[in-house]
């Protein structure tokens, strides 16, 4: 049938151009076909659909990114989408320190965790899902993540932070703390507001997460963040110990997502609250005075 034959031919059999094409995770076949048509890689959507069904490869099409050519016919194109992406999907959750991100990358890619940690700037490794080249250098990965951070940290955030009397560095450090301290989305803004007020009033932040960061890897727990702090932990001599030192720690303590960054930039330093604590369930309670805070401790943590 002429319609079918013409629909399966290359769009341009003489083309030497490589077209960058991405299939998102969970994307259905119709969406993939529509996107192929949009970038002029196939002649006919219906014919391509029939070919995929004939080949029985609908379930074998893989998410990822590809370098395709308009010189490929529909059969070659369809089969190429089942042979694996040239890049690898890697997901980095919010609130990890760079050592944890290094572990994720090393499991997916052939890189050195130690080298990644050495060159990675804490706080600027934006949590997201990435397509990473299969054979990257540590510097390439860091640059990809840092570029994503730069695109997400907009001039609007800088303006909001400046209106709050904060530099971008201060905003990011506070956001990294909020990311670890706020257990639920609705707590980000009030927690950020408490921290901002304490910082502005030169009162110790007294944040457990900064001490956890200072303590580092916990061999007996096989994790980076100690589950339960002791009174002796709070005595650690570290610039990250916000129980002992007034002001911010010298660097971010995690890599925060955009919600925590926005919470800090929009925080209210005139909040009536000076204290917060989270129950084991994650529910957070706020207090105006030290006496109210002690009452919350007795009620929710004892």
The token duo for 243 is: 């129980």
How far is the C-alpha of 92 from the C-alpha of 87, rounded, in Å?
A: 16
Interval 212-228 mean pLDDT: 94
Question: How far is the C-alpha of 141 from the C-alpha of 126, rounded, in Å?
Answer: 11
191 contacts 199 by C-beta, under 8 angstroms: no
| Most confident segment among 76-80, 133-137, 264-268 | 264-268
The percent of residues in the chain predicted with pLDDT above 70, rounded, is 99
Residue 5: per-residue pLDDT: 75
C-alpha separations of 261 from 69, 92, 164, 184 in Å = 41, 17, 13, 15
Where would I find the H helices in 21-83?
A: 29-38, 45-55, 74-80
For residue 90, list its beta bridge partners: 130
User: Averaged over 126-153, what is the pLDDT?
Assistant: 92
Mean of the pLDDT values across residues 42-51?
89
Q: For 235, which DSSP code?
A: G
283 has pLDDT over 90: no
Mean pLDDT of the chain: 91
CA atoms of 111 and 124, how far apart (whole Å):
19
Query: Tell me, what DSSP letter sits at residue 61?
Result: -
- Please say if the pLDDT value at position 43 is more than 80: yes
Instruction: Find where tokens 């969406």 sit.
Output: 31
Q: What domains are defined for the chain?
A: 2-80 (3.30.1490), 88-152 (3.30.1490), 155-271 (no CATH)
Q: How far apart are CA 216 and CA 225, in angstroms?
A: 7
Instruction: In whole angstroms, give the CA distance from residue 69 to residue 73.
Output: 9
Given a cut of 90, whether residue 162 has pLDDT beyond it is yes
3-32 residue pLDDT tens: 677 777 788 888 878 888 888 878 899 999
Q: How confident is the model at residue 111 (pLDDT cuts 50, 70, 90)?
A: very high
d(CA 90, CA 108): 7
pLDDT digits (tens, 9 = 90+) for 232-282: 999 999 999 999 999 999 999 999 999 999 999 999 989 999 999 988 888
Please say whether the beta carbons of 292 and 194 come within 8 A: no
Q: Is the pLDDT of residue 84 over 70?
A: no
Is the model's pLDDT at 1 over the cut of 70?
no
Contact 152, 175 (CB under 8 A): no
Mean pLDDT throughout 208-231?
94
Instruction: State how far the Cα of 208 lies from the Cα of 57, in Å rounded to an integer.
Output: 52
CB 213 within 8 A of CB 242: no
pLDDT of 101: 97
Of 4 and 60, which is predicted with more confidence?
60
């Amino acid at each position: 049938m002429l319609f079918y034959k013409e629909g399966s031919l290359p769009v341009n059999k003489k083309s030497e151009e490589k077209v960058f094409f991405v299939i998102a995770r969970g994307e259905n076949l119709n969406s993939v076909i529509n996107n192929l048509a949009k970038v002029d890689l196939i002649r006919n959507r219906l014919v391509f659909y029939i070919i995929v069904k004939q080949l029985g490869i609908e379930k074998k099409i893989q998410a990822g990114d590809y370098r395709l050519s308009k010189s490929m016919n529909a059969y070659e194109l369809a089969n190429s989408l089942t042979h694996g992406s040239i890049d690898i999907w890697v997901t980095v959750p919010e609130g990890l320190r760079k050592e944890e991100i290094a572990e994720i990358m090393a499991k997916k890619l052939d890189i050195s965790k130690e080298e990644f940690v050495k060159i990675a700037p804490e706080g600027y490794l934006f949590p997201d899902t990435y397509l990473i080249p299969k054979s990257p250098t540590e510097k390439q990965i860091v640059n990809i993540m840092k570029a994503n951070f730069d695109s997400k940290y907009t001039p609007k955030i800088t303006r909001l932070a400046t209106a709050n009397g904060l530099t971008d560095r201060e905003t990011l450090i506070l956001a990294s703390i909020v990311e670890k301290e706020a257990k639920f989305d609705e707590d980000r803004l009030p927690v950020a507001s408490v921290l901002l007020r304490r910082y502005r009033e030169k009162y110790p932040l007294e944040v457990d997460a900064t001490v956890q960061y200072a303590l580092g890897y916990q061999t007996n727990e096989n994790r980076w963040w100690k589950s339960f702090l002791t009174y002796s932990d709070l005595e650690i001599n570290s610039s990250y110990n916000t129980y002992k030192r007034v002001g911010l720690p010298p660097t971010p303590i995690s890599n925060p997502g955009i919600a925590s960054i926005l919470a800090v930039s929009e925080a209210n330093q005139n909040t009536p609250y000076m204290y917060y604590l989270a129950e084991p369930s994650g529910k957070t309670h706020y207090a105006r005075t030290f006496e109210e805070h002690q009452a919350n401790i007795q009620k929710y943590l004892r």
